[in-house]
Every structure is written in C-alpha cells, then in structure tokens.
Structure 1
Amino acid sequence: MKKNLIMSFVLSTLLVTVLSGCGAASKSTTGTADDTKAPAATTTTKSEKSTTLRIGYQKYGTVNFLKANGELDKALKEKGITIQWTEFPGGPQLLEAMNVGSIDVGHTGEAPPIFAQAAGTPLVYLGHEPASPASEAILIPEKSEIKSVAELKGKKVALNKGSNVHYLLVKQLEKAGLKYEDIQVVFLPPADARAAFEKGSVDAWVIWDPFFSAAETSAKAKILADGKDTVANHEFYLATRNYAENNKETVKIVLDQLAKVDTWSKDHPKELAETLSPQLGIDVPSLERAAKRRAYGIQPIDDALINEQQKIADTFFKLGLIPKEIKVKDAVLPATK
C-alpha cells in the first residue's frame, strides 16, 4: 500500500511538471505589455461566450501585421473583448498551445493542422490565404557544392518538425527520386536551425519566410529548390472548435480585419516591412523581399482546399509521420465549407 502511494505521488508530480512546461518557450503580449508566460489554459462551457480572445501568432504573416496596426484590438474593445497576443516560433508549437487550451485562435501553414488533428487537437479551419509556393525553400550555404535535391542523399537536412516545410521536403525528395529515409533529417526550430546552418552542422535547411529571406540577405544562403511547381503553401486561420462555435461574431470580426490588412499589405510591401522590422528584429530588405513573394486575400474553406489538405494528410500517414489516418473535413465547420 505504501509503495502504491509513493508511486501515485511521483506520477502526479511528473504530470504537473509536464503540463507546466507546455507554453514556456512562447512570448505573450496583452495589448502593448509583454509577458514571458503564455496565457493560462481556461475552459469555456459550450454556451459561454468569451470576453477575452487569445491569439497565437508567429514571426510574420497576416496575423502579425494585424497585431502591429492595432485595428483588431480597437474593433473588439468596442464589443467589450480584450486580446491576449502570444508569439510562437512555429506552427507546431502554436497548435500545441491550442491543444492544451492556452489560445483560441492562430495561424499556421498546411502541415501543422494535420499533425495536430492526428494528435487530437480540437481545431477547426476558419479560412486561408492563397497559395504562396515561393515563400518557402530548401536552402544551402553559399559555398555548398550541392547542385540538386538528388545530391542531398545521405546529407543532413534541418527543419522544424511538423511545420509547413515538412511537406515541401517530402515532395521535393519524391520529385528527385529519393525516399524520405535517404536523408538525415535534423529537427530544429528556426533559430537553432539557422545557427546549425551557419556553422555547417547541417548541409541544407528547409525554411519559410521571413527566416528564408533573412538567410538569403544576411547569410548569403542559396536556394536549392522552392515550392513552385511542387506545393501550394497556404496559410490557414484556425480556432478551437468550442471557441469558433460559441463566438461567431468575434470570429467574423477577426476575419474581416485580416482581409482589410491583406488588402493594404499587398500594395505597400516597403511600408509593411518598415512597420514590422522593429517588432520582429528582422531587417527591412529581408521583410520587403518576403512581402513581395507571398499572396494575399482571405478565402473560405472549400472542397478543393479540403482535398488538398487530405492529400498531405494521406502522404504523412503513409510515411509514418502521423500515428493514424484523419479526415480533414472533420475539422471544418459546416458554415465555412
């Protein structure tokens, strides 16, 4: 009996420790104030509307632009709703926070929602940006002798596990006649991957903008292959199912404000870069380059898009990258189809 009590105490302690560390690497901001902790996980009952919207965002993207101009904060403040903004290094980390209930809404590329749905995250798709295949690429160092993707066989390739570029890598290897197992995949978040890339610890780096453009500008990285003619590279807006079902007016305001920012951003890449540079700590030329090669315009989730996502999900399952088969349409609310 005493042995069982001790074991129960140890397991309980470990569980508390694991849950406490889920959001430790993220950066949280409420309004203009910064905090090192992610918003605490909360539970919203099925009929309860929230007076706080917790948004997860990454370094770059329309949500990032929206945070910078402050218009969404103003629009929701009129409705009695405050926003908590939390920055994440990538889509997988953002959706991990959504899974544990730390954020309500966020944005990622194509692959993270698939990994998250397979892991049981209660997410739904709200909308998406047009395809931007040139906004992600496989990079090699300036003095690398590698000339083609086929020459990556046996080489070390860094990427953020479960991120959008995971699918780009898979499709580029397939196009070059290689199997996923033919290379040495090194899973690293963007900052660590950049360091490994510059030190020569990896032979190639699969990455998205603005990290991609920054590496071109400051590290003289070369493009081995980008997403053109290989992947679509959509940016998705996502929410927890519970939040989307019970806060439809707030979700509509968010999408409307995103559309307005998109319209402005498309025609003002330099001004956009100048606005975001201090916030992101990335130089203006890199951000302007990234802004010019992405597409803009919020679009609804339709059957064609669902089918594209399903192909990615099926590919990942066949490769053993996700533990089970999923139906992407299960994560789409009827009203958004």
Structure 2
Amino acid sequence: MLLLAALLALAPAVQGEELLRVSSQKASLKILLEAAGELNNLPYRIEFASFGAAAPTAEALAAGAVDIGTLGDAPFVFAAGAGAPLKTVGVVRVNVTQTAVAIVVNQDSPLRDAASLKGRKITTTRGSIGHYLALAALRGAGLTGKDVQFIFLQPAESRGLLANGEADAWATWDPYTSMSQIEGGTRVLVSGEGLFAGNMLLVANDAAIRDKPALLADFLQRLARAYAWANANEPAFSAIQARYSGLPVDIHSRSNRYSQPHRVPIDAGVIADVQRTADLYRAEGLISQPFDATGRFAPQFNPEHSPQ
C-alpha cells in the first residue's frame, strides 16, 4: 500500500473517468480479473483489447493504442530490440513443465532429440516463446537457426501443419501443448524445462509509465491477487476459462494445475533472464543492436513483498 500511496501522491488522483487500456492474448487477463472479482468497484475504467498472439500486443503497446499488456521474454526483446518505447513494470512467473512450452512432434516421428532437428521444418510464431525455445534447444545441440527451416505461423495454423506432415516439429506453449497432449497423436521432443525461465512480463509503454503510474500500480496489485485466487480455486477458474474458450475444461485444468502463475519482483535474476534471451536473439541475427536489459525495466512498480 505504501507504493501505491507514494505513486498517488506523484500522479493525478485516480478518478472514475480515468482509463487504463489493457491488452492480453485471447482476453486472458480480462477473464482472470473478472473471475477473481477484481473488476468490481474499480476507481477507474479499464478498456480491454485482445489479440491472438504476442506480436500484435507489442505493436499496440508501441503505438500507444494500449497502456499495458502481457509479453513473454522473447517477444518483449524482439519488440524492444526493434526500438519500441517499452518497459517491463511487473513479472508473473509460471512453473516450467512440459505443458508450459515445448517442441512437439507427431507420435510416429523419427526425431528423438534436438540434434535430430537438423535440416527439418519447425513451425512456430515468429518472436514467440516457442521461437525462443527452438533456438535455445538448437544451440544446446551445437546447431543454430540456420540449420533448420522455420515456418512462421499462428498457433492454429502451425497445429494443422504438423498434423498433415508439412512440418516436422511445432514449438509452442500452453494451452496448445496441453491440448496436443490430451488429444493425443503427438509427443514432446524438447521440453522448456531448463531452457525457458517461465516469466510473463507485464509491459507498459513509456507514456503510460509517465502519465498513469497510480493506475498501473493498482492494476498490478489486482492482478497479483487474481492469480492467487485462481491458484486457490483451480477447478472453478478452469471451468470459467473453458466457457470462454470453447475448449474442454481438462485442457485448462491441466495447464492451471501445473503452471501456478504468481507475481514476482523485478530483480537481478529476472533481468538476467531477459538479457540471455536478448543475447541469443542477437547471436541469431534477429536483433541487430546491442540490448541492455537493465534499462528496459521499471522496478518502481515492484511489490513490497512477493505473494506467497
């Protein structure tokens, strides 16, 4: 509360007509906050935008069309490395399991490890955590992105490409990994465990950080409480998600049981995770300029105490 009080003293009072514009993939934040009751009695308005992948969220943030949104390490670096005026104001961490992010192949695929991907076709979304995982896995096997053929598509299209044999592997994330596991016909070739830090970044543009610090701070607190509620009420939350997505509740339940997202402070470890992502992207030629992760965070929004 001290952080919020300090920010309120520095910014205009939070009034009903003030607006915070929030973006997430497939309305995930709106669904979460609404389910947890965190949209009740708001002292300001929230306008939600929804996109199917991280890249449009980054574009909307950079253009000033939204104030804050969710990005993984990789799409954040991809956007910020291209010059977008963005900073991370909060971090949510998920437990990295085989259902968090993975490279999957068809059950009868001859591929057995990352090294066997050489010369193969990998489908993923450009600049996504799936893209990052594929590059990290290849590097770990002594290969680079030049040793494979990437086919950049949105998840639904990538799934079809793998199913009909036009791609050898699919680098993706939840709920798509859980979906492929439950529906069968695929197996995990490379898990994100040990390769992906599990950070989901809450990213704001410079204008919002300057003009709406109290709203951002309040929103981040509400989000932390909402995730704590969702973790404590997994069956109810999974059922709510399924009603919105149209997917079987088992897919959401599998993902939520294992991921347990929770807010963590911006610290040296988080910054180092993002720097490693940036270094990998630069080594692969995906960003051309040096990237200093330290300057891409706004730690003044850190919680006083990390949620337990």
**When the two structures are superposed, what TM-score results if normalisation uses the length of structure 1?**
0.80
What residue is the counterpart of 1:18 in the other structure?
Answer: none
What residue is the counterpart of 1:52 in the other structure?
Answer: 19
Alignment of 1:263 onto 2:228: yes
Deviation (angstroms), 1:220: 3.0
What residue is the counterpart of 1:23 in the other structure?
Answer: none
**When the two structures are superposed, what TM-score results if normalisation uses the length of structure 2?**
0.87
Change (3 A) 1:215 1:72: same
The answer to whether the Cα contact below 8 Å between 1:126 and 1:300 also exists between their aligned partners in 2 is: no
What residue is the counterpart of 1:73 in the other structure?
Answer: 39
User: Aligned pairs, how many?
Assistant: 288
Structure-to-structure mapping, 1:98-247, within 5 angstroms: 98-134=61-97, 135-247=100-212
Amino acid at match of 2:165: G
Amino acid at match of 2:215: T
Q: Secondary structure at the match of 2:111?
A: coil
What residue is the counterpart of 2:255 in the other structure?
Answer: 290
What residue is the counterpart of 2:8 in the other structure?
Answer: none
Q: Secondary structure at the match of 2:259?
A: coil
The answer to whether the Cα contact below 8 Å between 1:68 and 1:275 also exists between their aligned partners in 2 is: no
The answer to whether the Cα contact below 8 Å between 2:71 and 2:202 also exists between their aligned partners in 1 is: yes
Distance in 2, Cα, partners of 1:291 & 1:216: 15
The answer to whether the Cα contact below 8 Å between 1:65 and 1:261 also exists between their aligned partners in 2 is: no
Q: Secondary structure at the match of 2:47?
A: strand
What residue is the counterpart of 1:95 in the other structure?
Answer: 58
CA deviation vs aligned residue, 1:183-216 (integer Å, no higher than 9, x gap): 1111111111112122221111000101111122
Distance in 1, Cα, partners of 2:233 & 2:183: 23
Q: Please identify the structure whose Cα radius of gyration is greater.
A: 1
Distance in 2, Cα, partners of 1:70 & 1:148: 41
Sequence identity of aligned pairs in percent?
A: 27
CA deviation vs aligned residue, 1:121-142 (integer Å, no higher than 9, x gap): 1111111122532200001012
Which structure is higher in RCO with an 8 Å CA cutoff and minimum separation 6?
2
More displaced, 245-254 or 234-243? 245-254
What residue is the counterpart of 2:306 in the other structure?
Answer: none
Amino acid at match of 1:74: N
Q: Secondary structure at the match of 1:73?
A: coil
Alignment of 1:280 onto 2:249: no
The answer to whether the Cα contact below 8 Å between 1:129 and 1:295 also exists between their aligned partners in 2 is: no
Amino acid at match of 2:120: K
Which ranges of structure 1 fall in alignment gaps of 5 or more residues?
A: 1-45
Q: Secondary structure at the match of 1:304?
A: helix
Which ranges of structure 2 fall in alignment gaps of 5 or more residues?
A: 1-10, 303-308
Q: Secondary structure at the match of 1:57?
A: strand
Change (3 A) 1:219 1:88: farther
The answer to whether the Cα contact below 8 Å between 1:302 and 1:336 also exists between their aligned partners in 2 is: no
Amino acid at match of 2:73: E
The answer to whether the Cα contact below 8 Å between 1:111 and 1:164 also exists between their aligned partners in 2 is: yes
Distance in 2, Cα, partners of 1:124 & 1:300: 14
The answer to whether the Cα contact below 8 Å between 2:19 and 2:47 also exists between their aligned partners in 1 is: yes
Change (3 A) 1:217 1:253: same
